[in-house]
Structure 1
Amino acid sequence: MKLLTILAALMLANISIAQEYVPSPEVLKSREQFADDRFGIFIHWGIYSMFGQGEWYLNYGPQAEEYMKAAKGFYPSDFNAEEWVSAIKDAGAKYITITTRHHDGFSMFHTAENDYNIVDGTPFKRDILKEIADECHRQGIALHLYYSHLDWVRDDYPQGRTGHSTGRDSGKADWDSYYGFMNRQLTELLTNYGPIRAIWFDGWWDHDEDATPFDWHLPEQYGMIHSLQPGCMVANNHHQAPFAGEDIQIFERDLPGENTAGLSGQEVSRLPLETCNTMNGMWGYKIMDQNYKDTPTLIRYLVKAAGMGANLLLNVGPQPNGELPATALARMKEMGEWLRSYGETIYETEAGPFPAQSWGTTTRKGDRLFVHVMSPETSAILLPIETKIKKAFEYKSGKSVRMTHTGSHTVLHLDSIPTGIDHIIECRL
């Protein structure tokens, strides 16, 4: 009853505030820290991992009533929060975004809203989110929480364009009931798990084809989040330009301004940017998907994101037994090794002063310009920059690099065409 009273008061208090969003000093600080981080790990984990078919398995045929029975067999005996967070930290990642409730409606945390959760609905009986949150706070890793706006099992969720075959009774849709359920769960997440740096929403797009625009009542919900934790940012993977009240702009499977996957054609804003992508092909664990990107590809993607002033949120889909896949761990370890040598050119940097070039991209930190040469066709690296460079040298060895200036361009003359993952030249402006 106390939780309901608090929730009602917060909702009423924030209706007027949410209409014109002014970020709090705490949120502005979180935005700055987030932008400095540049690298995070995404974790998609739920009972769907038991089927080994990815996180959308329920959408492709099973009845919700049968699917939900899987919770009674979910016992991730090898889950170890300390090992997870340690491996992620060793990878050079600065934050974790984890699925607390995906589209299948299963809560990976202890909720009072129903028994369909990791503590009350499984023989495991442990609050996985609490263990991860405690470990993140202990090891200094920021925690972001993914939360689905849609639900394929609840009758009160107004049916959108997905989840039509799960057996829900669409005649029982009740938006007020469902909206209250979500906000009570969000209140639990922001009350019981310590400092949360961001809520990462997904699912708005489920109603993007409605004849009448669907009102998710986001301003009130966003205002509630900011009131519960003034430093908590709001992000929403809606594939649109940012809405009022949001603090991060997300791009799915593409770098900002690109749209090869058909999900990220929106205009790039001035908010902190994040691109989320997979190590292999799926977000959730898929037993047949071993098509992992190699380490050079992942490192270069991270560098390209940083060159656009964006973070990379790189996904891992844990196995049903609670382990992170061995290949994912190997990739993370190798990325961490690279970042220990070259992280200074990624962390706490801004986008370079000109767009990415055919040879690579740039990042900047004050008067230091880091030239990331990743795919050169010649040893002469053309920089379309008007500011005259005072000196240039190899970042790793400190060896001086010869320069020539032509109009509004500077050319860096390397001894040979680089062949490594990323040949970095530091320039002083």
Structure 2
Amino acid sequence: MNDFAITALLVLSLFLILGSGVWVGLTLSGVAWIGMQLFSSRPAGDAMAVTIWGSATSWTLTALPLFVWMGEILFRTRLSQDMFKGLAPWMQSLPGRLLHTNVAGCTLFAAVSGSSAATCATVGKMTLPELKQRGYPDDIVIGTLAGAGTLGLLIPPSIIMIVYGVMAEVSIAKLFVGGILPGMLLALLFSGYIAVWAWRNPQRVPPMDTRLSFVQKLSASRSLIPVALLIAAVLGSIYTGLATATEAAAVGVVGALLLSAAQGSLNWATFRDSLMGATRLYCMIALILAGAAFLTLSMGYIGLPRHLAEWIGTLGLSQFQLLAVLTLFFILLGCFLDGISMVVLTMGVLMPTVQKAGIDPIWFGIFVVLVVEMAQITPPVGFNLFVLQGMTGKSLGWIARVTLPMFFLMVAAVLLLWIFPAIVTWLPGHM
């Protein structure tokens, strides 16, 4: 059987098992077992046991459950209300006024959370009632929140970056630092869109609230001090080299617990719920990673990654053409799989091709995260769309439609990263 027939069989098996409702992690393991059993001489059971054990005991992955737990702790504190109080006075004079709290809130919370869904849900809990009460239109409020919520993947710490770093064997700390400037760029694009929208639709922007003096604004900003200190502790320890990503994650958990205690919201119920929430989420991710590790090993024995890389090499694609094809591929894949599944399912196959094309793996990691962000707002499996559907009661199609401008801004961000790669590589190069 030739490579094309083997690939077609495995892809067909993948979608058939996924379509039957089996968990993604078990699906990946099942497809890997089929590939090794039929097309390899190595015993599939032995390979599965060794690979899954190795994946489950990876020290690098220790950062993942810690960052997840940190986000869960903060999700259950009064952080959201305090953030709105601190941000709102500074947004009043901008075109679009309080709509910018969606972007600023997501940017801040993304820096203390590794999850897009957690960022979207937490900031949504903060801004949706407040903006609705003040008369801001639902379409622009929900659309910008869905788009800005994806910053939870790009601004470090990021769960997707940890997964990519493990799969691609690159420095997670450098990935974290490389995501800072692209995250700021995307936040500026979102705020720029809000300003242009407000300029074109002045009648839909509610009037300014009570005008505050500069001193009053500073006083209101005191509520941002705890989250600013936590961001500085996590990212500062990584950037200065005082801590690895895993150690910084532990710093973040301790900081989040102290912040929760200082706010008076740390009790046994909060602690238990945050720990159980983080455990459930990480177990899901760990199962996917274990299945993906086995699938990567299986494909390595069959030789598919090498053959695919050789085939793409014969096409004579330039770097830009290759990245354009991969962008379309990830957008299509994002219609059916969540971000983590996309990364773990494809990196084993794509990394040899990317390295052969001479693309920097740190830059490619940020590119992948940015494209995966698009998948968070593309139906039918856009996580942020589901989060907002549950919070607002709007239809999935309506939310996807009002979020479409954010999708095109992400495409623009990808082009800017290609034209100016130093946006990604400059900070990691100075670590």
Which bracket does the TM-score occupy, shorter chain normalised? under 0.3
| TM-score, normalising length: structure 2 | 0.25
| Bigger relative contact order (CA 8 A; separation at least 6) | 2
Structure holding more strand per residue: 1
| TM-score, normalising length: structure 1 | 0.26
